Chains A and B, each alone.
Chain A
């Protein structure tokens, strides 16, 4: 039992005889500059993709609104009823609106452009 402990101690002493390497200030400074540059670059790219996403959403919303303001009779529900004679066309429209409302925040959360803000 004691000999086991002694040999374990001997092995640990042997392992501990490995000297610690001390990095130079220059190595650390180089790492700080490189890491900072990469993080900033990464954040800049992320900001760009978020900007594009917002512009696209804004554009879609503007088109949607201008379309219905210009032609009020062109309601999605009426179009569906006219072409497909659907009894529950208003429910279908509602379904699309609701599923859009639910999935959009989910998609926005999943998008890589949205990562990193909150943890």
Chain B
């Protein structure tokens, strides 16, 4: 459920009022950015997909049901935009992955940046090896803190299915770690 203040922001956002757009972008941009990167989206395209997500959200806000959290709804739109992006990319026969521009702290000691980027590459490699549905469940659950019920609402499937996807993902990741492929 939203507070009155949040509902007012959403209404203003729908009208395209600068302050409301700024507040929502400020609040959700980092989460969407990390979600897309962890889902294997190339960093060069992340900005476009996030912009598309916000535009689609503003256009479809009348359809938004307040019984779900706005964050869940926005992530759902973002995931759909990512799927559309992959469809378009596969039609253009592009390979959506650029390991040279993986996430990592942009500030700090150069040595720590290298270590963080290497670690990001390892984790991303492991995530990329997971089937897409398992990857989505892992990213939403462990990185963005959504509950299993919320993930089920987002992907339109029973709670049990989400649980089995998470268990499958964890056992897959365990075997990747044991193989030493990602370490």
- Contact B58 A22, beta carbon cutoff 8 Å: no
**Residue ID in chain B nearest A37 by CB atoms:** B16
Q: Is B105 an interface residue (CB 8 A)?
A: yes
Count chain B CB atoms within 10 A of each CB in A27, A31, A32, A40 and give the residue with the most. Answer: A31
- Contact A118 B62, beta carbon cutoff 8 Å: yes
- Contact B51 A35, beta carbon cutoff 8 Å: yes
Which A residues, 1 to 30, have Cβ-Cβ distances below 8 Å to chain B? Answer: 7-8, 10-12, 14-24, 27-28, 30
**Cα distance A24–B26 in the bound complex, in angstroms:** 11
B81, chain A: closest CB distance, angstroms: 13
**Cα distance A43–B29 in the bound complex, in angstroms:** 23
Partner pick for A38 among B18, B30, B55, CB 8 A cutoff: B55
**Cα distance A11–B18 in the bound complex, in angstroms:** 42
Partner pick for A14 among B14, B18, B51, B173, CB 8 A cutoff: B173
Partner pick for A7 among B51, B105, B174, CB 8 A cutoff: B174
Q: Is B159 an interface residue (CB 8 A)?
A: no
Q: Is A105 an interface residue (CB 8 A)?
A: no
* Total number of B residues with any Cβ neighbor in A under 8 Å: 45
- Contact A35 B54, beta carbon cutoff 8 Å: yes
A56, chain B: closest CB distance, angstroms: 23
B148 to chain A: which residues have CB within 8 Å? none
Q: Is B72 an interface residue (CB 8 A)?
A: no
Contacts A11-B173, A18-B120, A39-B58; A30 near B22 (Cβ below 8 A): no
- Contact A17 B21, beta carbon cutoff 8 Å: no
- Contact B33 A21, beta carbon cutoff 8 Å: yes
B140, chain A: closest CB distance, angstroms: 12
**Cα distance A10–B16 in the bound complex, in angstroms:** 45
Contacts A19-B103, A119-B61; A34 near B51 (Cβ below 8 A): yes
Interchain residue pairs with CB less than 8 A apart (24) = A10-B177, A11-B170, A14-B177, A15-B123, A15-B127, A16-B142, A17-B123, A18-B124, A19-B120, A20-B30, A20-B103, A21-B34, A22-B105, A24-B106, A27-B29, A30-B47, A31-B50, A35-B21, A35-B55, A36-B18, A39-B14, A116-B62, A117-B62, A119-B62
Interface residues of B (CB under 8 A from A): 13-16, 18, 21-22, 25-26, 29-30, 33-34, 37-38, 47, 50-51, 54-55, 58-59, 61-64, 103-106, 116, 119-120, 122-124, 126-127, 138, 142-143, 170, 173-174, 177
The 10 closest A-B pairs by CB, nearest first: A39-B16, A21-B103, A18-B123, A35-B54, A40-B16, A38-B55, A39-B58, A19-B116, A116-B62, A119-B62
Interface residues of A (CB under 8 A from B): 7-8, 10-12, 14-24, 27-28, 30-32, 34-36, 38-40, 42-43, 115-119
